[in-house]
Chains A and B, each alone.
Chain A
């Protein structure tokens, strides 16, 4: 409950300049307000937060932001190079891209696509493109950006080996990769809090067992085991099931960090006076945990979670890159990067690395955000 302190009531009428408004606000600000103010000062973290938000918005409305569908392909435009978007033509705002023309390399006689400076394909915003179902339910055909004539090629980031638009697929991948991060972290967070909490609260043998379990899990080099289990997933399982199994596996490798933090916090909180007071009051244990102990370190939990999401995303990308994670037709950044395993491919078609850029940006943003949250978590 905030105290409303009218300045006039406390100070004599003839006193000099009253206390600054800001200082007064600082005195009566709530915990969350203090955290928010401290977070706001961390510019990098704010930037990170904005980037993360943007990514998630794009991921949620992927169908709208992507110029084509994820699986749409045109054999005639295999490995097309990226077409740069020009905004102004003849001094007017008329976005266009250059067309693509077939060329034969004079030395190797290889057929390649090259940018044709002569032709210009007009591009528009909010165009009608391929029909899709937003979230699989709402039929729409509005795309944020696309060629005015839907038959024209529009490859902002080039095309891959099947003639699919790399840019669109990267946007759809954002949805999968980012949600794996969220779901995985939710799972590992629950596991970590429950086990860590039990361990810290109850102590004794249970604590010992859980501690040893945590140590064992932390000592196992996760990748080989992850590889082993992921390689085991049968090829004929539906994509959604594979998705959940991979997420569960990733969560199983990450919960230990949070569990240790929660355990140490609980151990120290157990000795606090206010917990003793609550116990003496007759608070049942469940309420004790959720109403009294847990809120003391919400902030740390939030910071921890934000810092483990990038780990989850990186792990999923690595697995899919090796071929043992998500599989086509599910598209994630790792799956897209699978094509780039050969150096020769990257040397000739470097735009295939675009999903990697997306991964790096998202992970950086999450790290900055998490850093800021962690700094802000202790505003005192």
Chain B
């Protein structure tokens, strides 16, 4: 077992390193850097002419005049040893502050989405398999397909539109007006939960659809096996029969799929938060990418990716705990 964990940990570290490379490279891709966009902004605002010394000075000040690999190691070193993610040029603040501000909410929404997917997909999948070809089965399959086909930003738009039409106010944001800037309290938490179910449902829908189908297919495979008939013949009640063996068996691929749902969830969360204007990482990422605010953007990408990797790692551990065959392979 420990060999397995150790191996997975090494791979995880490797993955995280490659991700850091990619995150950093991605920001270096656009020609020019923050200073270039700053200069073009100033020119656009009416400055007559910017002397090249100004650009030089700015570059030195922001440390942008060094070769790329030097910048990369400095950046990485800062993050690992000092927890310093750099400086946000656009928001004029420490990048770490920005990230820490927005990240917990992203994390919370993604976590609740995973819980939502589990809570919804598991029973519906089991039910669908047991009552195969019934009206309910067709209904849920159809619903599942719709959930798969409708892009989540569209769902967000439609929900916003419906709430605007019928409740008179758009469902934007995660808090009601009175709680928006208030310090954390029980009331605020309840208010947040009140508002959170909308993005969670939107983000979770696509994942639910896929997992319902997987669960149904796996369980159907299991239910056809001889041991189920034996158990039934021996007098085990249907309920106990279902939950004690086949479901546990069918959970196997289910759990492994959960891990890989996480990247999709994070991606969905980013888009939905941009559309609904939630105070999570989505809007900031888009903004900083458009304005080449590199430290913030790459910091976010790095942190989100690491979270995803950790999440998949945890799901792999869960799978190994659930199924001894994985541990020994």
Seen from chain A, the residues whose Cβ lies within 8 Å of a Cβ on chain B are 212, 215-216, 218-225, 227-229, 231-232, 234, 310, 314, 317-318, 321-322, 324, 337, 340-341, 343-344, 346-347, 350, 353, 356, 359-360, 363-364, 367-368
Contacts and interface: CB of A to CB of B under 8 A. Distances in A.
Given A221-B267, A224-B267, A234-B31, 4 more contacts: A215-B15, A219-B309, A224-B266, A347-B165
Interface string B257-299: 0001011101110110011000000000110011000000100
9 contacts: A215-B15, A218-B263, A219-B15, A219-B312, A221-B264, A221-B305, A224-B285, A337-B154, A343-B164
Interface stretch (B18-26, B126-134, B321-329): B18-26
B305 A232 contact: no
Contacts of A337: 154
A264 B159 CA distance: 41
A231 B64 CA distance: 20
Nearest to A223: B267
A170 to B, nearest CB: 15
Interface in B15-49: 15, 18-19, 22-23, 26-27, 29-31
For the complex of A and B, the 8 pairs showing the least CB-CB separation, nearest first, are A223-B267, A363-B149, A221-B266, A228-B26, A232-B30, A364-B149, A231-B289, A221-B263
Given A228-B297, A343-B170, A223 B18 contact: no
Contacts of B275: 341
Contacts of A223: 266-268, 270-271
B11 A215 contact: yes
Nearest to B161: A346
Nearest to B170: A343
A227 B286 contact: yes
Interface of B: 11, 14-15, 18-19, 22-23, 26-27, 29-31, 145-146, 148-151, 153-154, 157-158, 160-161, 164-165, 170, 172, 260, 262-264, 266-268, 270-271, 274-275, 285-286, 289-290, 297, 300-301, 304-305, 308-309, 312
Contacts of A220: 19, 22, 263, 305, 308
Contacts of B308: 219-221
A260 to B, nearest CB: 10
Contact of A314 (B151, B270, B301): B151
Contacts of A350: 161
Contacts of B164: 343-344, 347
Contacts of A215: 11, 15
A364 to B, nearest CB: 4
A224 B161 contact: no
Contacts of B285: 224, 227
A367 B150 CA distance: 12
B283 to A, nearest CB: 11
B241 to A, nearest CB: 27
A364 B267 contact: no
A308 to B, nearest CB: 13
Contact of B151 (A232, A324, A359): A359
A194 B3 CA distance: 31
Nearest to A231: B289
A174 to B, nearest CB: 16
B291 to A, nearest CB: 9
A225 B165 CA distance: 35
A369 B86 CA distance: 49
A222 B151 contact: no
Given A215-B15, A368-B145, A318 B301 contact: no
A321 B179 CA distance: 31
Most chain B CB within 10 A, of A215, A223, A229, is at A223
A224 B149 contact: no
The CB with the most chain B CB atoms within 10 A, among A221, A231, A322, is that of A221
Nearest to B274: A322
B270 A224 contact: yes
A234 B151 CA distance: 27
Nearest to B298: A228
Contacts of B151: 314, 317-318, 356, 359
A228 B27 contact: yes
Contacts of B300: 224
Contacts of B305: 219-221, 224
B78 to A, nearest CB: 20
A310 B267 CA distance: 17
Given A221-B267, A343-B161, A363 B148 contact: yes
